[in-house]
Structures are given as structure tokens and as C-alpha cells.
Amino acid sequence: MTLQRSLLPQLQRSRRLGIFVALVVFQSVTVLLHKQTSVLLPPLPRDLSDPFVLASEPHGQEDLEPMSRIFLEGRATYTGECRRFKLTNTTWGQSVAPFVDKVGAKILVEQMGTAVKIVPTIAVYDTANISDFDAMYMKALPDSIIKPAHATGWTAQVQNKSYVCFKGCKQETLKFQSWLGEPSEIEQAHKVAKKVMQYTLSDVPSPEFQKKEPQYGFVPRRVLIEHRLPVERMKEYHWWIANGQPVFVCIRCDEGRTKRGSYYSSAFQKLEITSVLEPCLHLSRPKTWEKMISIVKKMGERVPGVACIDLYADDWDVYFSEITFTRGKCRTYFQPLVADALLYAMSNDVLAAKSITADYVEKTVADRSWVHVSFDLGEPLLSTNKVVNATGFPSGPDLCGNQTTANSSVCDHTIDSVASWDLHCVISKENALTAVGQSKIRTIGRLVQKIDWLLVLGLVVLLVFVKFGHKTRQLDQPGSQVFHCFLYLAAVAVFKTFQTNSAGLLSPRPIWYTVVESYQAFKIVHPVTSPAIAISHFATYWISVGAFFSKRLTTMLILWCLYEVCTAFVNEYFHFGEEDDSVRCMRVSFILYTKEYAINDVVRVYLLPPLFVYGYLLPKMMLYWFGPY
């Protein structure tokens, strides 16, 4: 009897070890059989078997593809096409020359039958009649604008008996000239004005200029004098159209010579587009907004390709200014690049221009489904959030444009593999890039396949063995279940080594790094603005806590089985509904990152979540819901 009692602890330890070995052997054989024969679970389509797949299969086609999928190559932009094709193409330049002729364009626009008003012309000069422009004529001019009809720049104004060349002028002509006093003053002002006019008639555009903007070389050389609009009470609108359809408009904050302006859709929703202008703080919807849209659409029926129609408007009237096709010699791209690419896609029939709505434009610019997730593999600290950083972009080229030069070409190749997915996560770690595609469509099939059914099957078999095994009932000793839990987790680690974790059993970095990194990532992917995710965690993670405190081995196995099924399904369901693409990509990327090593993955999945959920997230949400703020 004494000998039997002394051997009992050893027998119990042997049985525990036997259970552990049996579980490991069963799971390993299951994985190997599944990999070689796939008899236990039939193979599923990749987009269903794992929504985090590293592939680019499409999951469905919409009537109108989003630009986030279409725009994959940085050269497919309006500005890029303009630089490569339009700035050197004389055939194209000749075809659009009538629209950039500041004298002829007035006649063309007037014939279009729109509600736009044409600024009255005072005089038109060329080399044959420039001698008629004398000092007395200039003195009698009302407030007016003097500009070449065949070029940009060299624009001057006459206002309140003064003259100044204010746009694209040489330094010596910028001096303000007034004739309020002595008669000699008008002579001096006339001398400067006529010199500018003669120069533009003879030397503008220069041969070098015509090589860069060939359309102006086909416009007759003339100087236009027209009435000056009261721009102090008006705003300037640069309407960008593509194949006749208004895409967006740049509204100058105030007249003049400032460098401020903001972009809006045709529904007057502000767009986060930038160019060379600083954005405005606030703009009100113009009273003539609908009138402008009607004018631009009507003009777009005649104006080819991508063009910018400049209008001036106050609360009552809309005036035509000019039409340009190579704004700023196409030196500056729109940012984000996807806005530039939208113009290209519409003008080249990649997208049907007439099907593009203001809502489509707004969603294109606001899209942040391309997310760059970068990992900082330095020593993690609880006081910092440097472990993972995610930044969203509306397109792959926008994302790649923010990479280092070394990663840029690699990035361009990487984004192709996930282009057809809804969510695109590009992960950089140690100067290596990995692309992960995911659908945003939440289906039961995708959620169910997040459950590790091989592991669940092993648990069920082990549960049956423990439940009906005669000798296993003696394992239910007080305090033994914590030990059994760790035996189970050790078996899971071995199982994961065979199944999914390619890098090895344990990371060479200290396990403490995994704890800190997991905590920081957990804080980021569980914002207070997602209460449904928090509630789902509160309702499910008690299962793992219960497993550690269960009094019977069968209860522990049942709870771990529930944990594998319920937690994976419920949590994936609510995380799938996260609207912030950056948060979703951070979660996806961090899971892939920790899956490289089995033990680190077990720590992240089984041990840390209950601590974070009930020790951090629950108090945080309680303060958010019931706190003073």
C-alpha cells in the first residue's frame, strides 16, 4: 500500500506526459495527412480558405471598378501622358489651338449657347495695327486687361489710371506706372505697355516655348484688350473636365496673385487634393454653382480630352476666362496621384466618363484601402508606439511614391499581386516588402475558415479519449488543470510549427518583445470608436480564463474547443466590420508577423488576449462610456 502511494505521483506525471505525446502525435499526423492527401478537409478556394492570402484572385466584379484597383502604374496619369505625348506633339497641338486662342475661344464659347457671359473685347492688335496704340488711346482706356491671345503670361492691367504687368512678365516691366500727375507719366506708361505688346507679338511664344506647348504655335499672334472684371468681389474657378465630364474644380480662395486654392467635387464636397496651391480654410457653396456645372458640361461637349476651363463668378453671373490643356507645362502632378490618374482613365476610355459621378470622385480621393504597414524591429518600449505604423493611401502608386528609392521599384512590382482585392496591405520589415490582399465582403464562408478545424478535430478526439478512458479520470487532481493548460498550449505550439509557422519554433528575439509589441498593436487595433469589437471580446475571452480555472480535464478541453471555434468566428466577424482600413491592415499584418514563430504565436493568441481585454480594453471602454469626457 505504501509502495502504491509512493508510485502514484509518478504514474500521474507519466499519464500527463502520455496525453501530451498523444496529442502532439495525433496533430502532427493530421497535418501531414492533410498536406499530402487532403482527405480530412477538402481544399477550398484561396479567397475562402484564408482571407489573408498572399494572392490576387478577384472575388467579384462591380459595374464600375474603383480606381484603387485600376491605377497600378505611375505613368498612367494625365500629367504623365501630357509630358510624354502632348508637350511634343504638334498634330495634337494644332487640333486644340482654336480653344487656347484667347480671341477665337471667346467666339467659340459664345456659339456653344451656354449661360456663361463673355468679357467684352475693347481692341485686338497685331503687327499690322500695333502702331495705332498710342498714348492718348491708352489714357482713354477704362479699367482693362491686356494679354497675348497666343501665349500664357505677359498679362497686364490698366486700373485707376495706372499700368502694371503682373503675370509672367520680365523684371523691367513689373514696375508700377501711373499717370495721375504730369503728362510725361502717361508717355512713360505707354512706352512700357507698348514695348511689352510688341515683344509678345514678335518673340512670344519663343521656339523653345513652342516645343514645350506646341498648341500656342498655331494661334495667330495678337494682343487682346478686354474689360477688367471686378475680381475683388468674384472668385476664380478652374474646372477640370475629361471627355466632356466635370471631374473636380479648384476654387481660388481670393482673387489675385495668391497661391491658395482648394479642390471640390461637382457636389461641392471638399477633396483632399493638393497641387501648387495652399488649401483654403473655408469656402461656402457659391450661389451660381449649378449654373457653372451646366456651363461646364455644355462646353465639355465641344472641348476634347482633359482640359481646364477657367471661370469667374459672383453671386449672379459667371464669366468665361480661358481654356488650357497643359496647365503649368504639366510640371506638377496632382496629389494624390489617383486624382491625376482619374483624369487619364476618363480621357482614355478606361472608365466611361459619363458614368463618373461626384460620389465616385469623392470615394476615389478619400479611399485609403492601400495601407503601408511598417514594423520597427528595434527594442520595443511600453512608453512608445513604434512597433507598427500604418498609413493609408488611395492607390498603389501613391503608396509606392512614399517609399524610399531602394524600395520604390520593388513596391511597383509588389502591388500587382494584390491589386484586385478590396483591401491592400503592403508590409515593410527589414527593407523587405510583402503584399497581402483581403476582401471587405463579410461572408460566413470566410469567417468559418478562420477556425482552425484541424486543431478542433484533434481536441474533439482527445476529449472523447479523456471522457471515456477509464484510467484518465484519475488525472482530475486539484491544481492540475493549469499544468494541463500549459501542456495543451505546448502541443499547440508543436502543431503550429508543422502547420503554418515557417520560420521556426521560437523567435531569436526575447519573448518580452512579443509581449510589448502585442500590447502596442492591441491598443492600435482596438479604438474606442469600435465598441462592437470590444463587446465581442468581453463576451468571448472569458472562455480561455475559464479553461485555466476549470476543475476537470474534460471541462478544460471543452472550453479550449469553444475558444477555438467561438473566439475565432465572433472576433473575425466584428473585426471584419472595422471601417478604418489602416486598423484592419495593422491587425492583418501583425498576425502574419507573429505567425512566423510558433511559440510567439501561441503567446499572442492564447495567453495575452485575456490580459489585454480585461486589464486594458475593459477599463478603457468603461471610461469612454461612463467617464466624464
When pLDDT is averaged across residues 167-187 and rounded to a whole number, the result is 74
Q: Where are the alpha helices (DSSP H) in 469-541?
A: 480-499, 511-525, 531-540
Q: Is the pLDDT at 231 greater than 80, yes or no?
A: yes
Find which of 310-319, 326-335, 433-442, 495-504 is predicted with most confidence, using mean pLDDT. Answer: 310-319
Grid cell for residue 323: 481654356
Contact criterion met (CB below 8 Å) for 395 and 370: yes
Q: Is the pLDDT at 55 greater than 80, yes or no?
A: no
Around 297, how many Cα atoms within 13 Å sit in the side-chain half-sphere? 11
Q: pLDDT band at 7, cuts 50/70/90?
A: very low
For residue 392, give the H/E element and its range: strand 388-393
Provide the 10 A C-beta neighbour count for residue 424.
29
Grid cell for residue 592: 502574419
Task: Give percent of the chain with pLDDT exceeding 70.
Answer: 82
Q: Is the pLDDT at 587 greater than 90, yes or no?
A: no
Contact criterion met (CB below 8 Å) for 460 and 561: yes
Question: How, if at all, do strands 162-167 and 223-227 pair?
Answer: unpaired
Max CA separation in the chain (angstroms): 134
Q: Is the pLDDT at 24 greater than 70, yes or no?
A: no
Q: Is the pLDDT at 324 greater than 50, yes or no?
A: yes
Contact criterion met (CB below 8 Å) for 307 and 194: no
Q: pLDDT band at 308, cuts 50/70/90?
A: very high
Q: Is the pLDDT at 236 greater than 50, yes or no?
A: yes
Q: pLDDT band at 4, cuts 50/70/90?
A: very low
Q: What is the CA radius of gyration of the chain?
A: 35
378-406 per-position pLDDT tens digit? 555 444 455 567 889 999 999 988 876 55
Q: Is the pLDDT at 590 greater than 50, yes or no?
A: yes
- 325: three-class secondary structure by DSSP: coil
Residue 509: the pLDDT is 83
Compute the distance between CA of residue 129 and CA of residue 366 in angstroms, rounded to an integer: 54
Residue 100: the pLDDT is 96
Task: Give percent of the chain with pLDDT exceeding 90.
Answer: 43
Q: Is 488 left (phi over 0), alpha (psi -120 to 50) or beta?
A: alpha
pTM over 0.85: no
- 318: three-class secondary structure by DSSP: strand
- Domains of the chain plus CATH, in order, are 2-45+442-626 (no CATH), 120-227 (no CATH), 231-366 (3.30.470), 368-438 (no CATH)
For residue 425, give the H/E element and its range: strand 423-429
Torsion of CA 311, 312, 315, 316, to 10 degrees: -80
Compute the distance between CA of residue 435 and CA of residue 589 in angstroms, rounded to an integer: 9
- 141: three-class secondary structure by DSSP: coil
Q: Is the pLDDT at 432 greater than 60, yes or no?
A: yes
Q: Is the pLDDT at 46 greater than 70, yes or no?
A: no
Residue 406: the pLDDT is 58
As beta bridge partners, residue 236 has 312
Size of the chain in residues:
629
- Annotate 161-200 with three-state secondary structure: CEEEEEECCCHHHCCCEECCCCHHHHHHHHHHHHHHHHHH
**Closest by CA position to 96, among listed 81, 106, 85, 86:** 86
Residue 470: the pLDDT is 54
**Closest by CA position to 598, among listed 507, 526, 535:** 507
**How far, rounded to the nearest angstrom, does the alpha carbon of residue 440 sit from its chain's CA centroid?**
15
Higher pLDDT, 36 or 619: 619
Contact criterion met (CB below 8 Å) for 90 and 84: no
Residue 181: the pLDDT is 65
Compute the distance between CA of residue 235 and CA of residue 251 in angstroms, rounded to an integer: 7
533-580 per-position pLDDT tens digit? 999 999 999 998 998 888 888 888 899 999 989 888 888 888 888 888
- 333: three-class secondary structure by DSSP: coil
When pLDDT is averaged across residues 205-222 and rounded to a whole number, the result is 81
89-115 per-position pLDDT tens digit? 999 999 999 999 999 999 999 999 999
**How far, rounded to the nearest angstrom, does the alpha carbon of residue 558 sit from its chain's CA centroid?**
44
Compute the distance between CA of residue 278 and CA of residue 496 in angstroms, rounded to an integer: 53
The rounded mean pLDDT for the chain is 82
When pLDDT is averaged across residues 359-371 and rounded to a whole number, the result is 96
Q: Is the pLDDT at 131 greater than 50, yes or no?
A: yes
Task: Please classify residue 294 by burial: count the beta carbons closer than 10 Å to its beta carbon, then call 0-12 exposed, 13-18 middle and 19+ buried.
Answer: middle
- 52: three-class secondary structure by DSSP: coil
Return all residues near 117 (Cβ < 8 A) that are at least 6 apart. 317, 318, 319, 320
For residue 408, give the H/E element and its range: helix 405-415
Compute the distance between CA of residue 201 and CA of residue 222 in angstroms, rounded to an integer: 6
Contact criterion met (CB below 8 Å) for 28 and 491: no
**How far, rounded to the nearest angstrom, does the alpha carbon of residue 220 sit from its chain's CA centroid?**
44
Residue with cell 470608436: 529
Residue 8: the pLDDT is 45
Contact criterion met (CB below 8 Å) for 438 and 422: yes
Find which of 26-35, 321-330, 396-405 is predicted with most confidence, using mean pLDDT. Answer: 321-330
Q: Is the pLDDT at 269 greater than 60, yes or no?
A: yes
Using alpha carbons only, give the angle 33, 451, 30 rounded to the nearest 5 degrees: 15
**Closest by CA position to 151, among listed 82, 92, 203:** 203
**Closest by CA position to 249, among listed 260, 262, 258:** 262
Provide the 10 A C-beta neighbour count for residue 460.
13
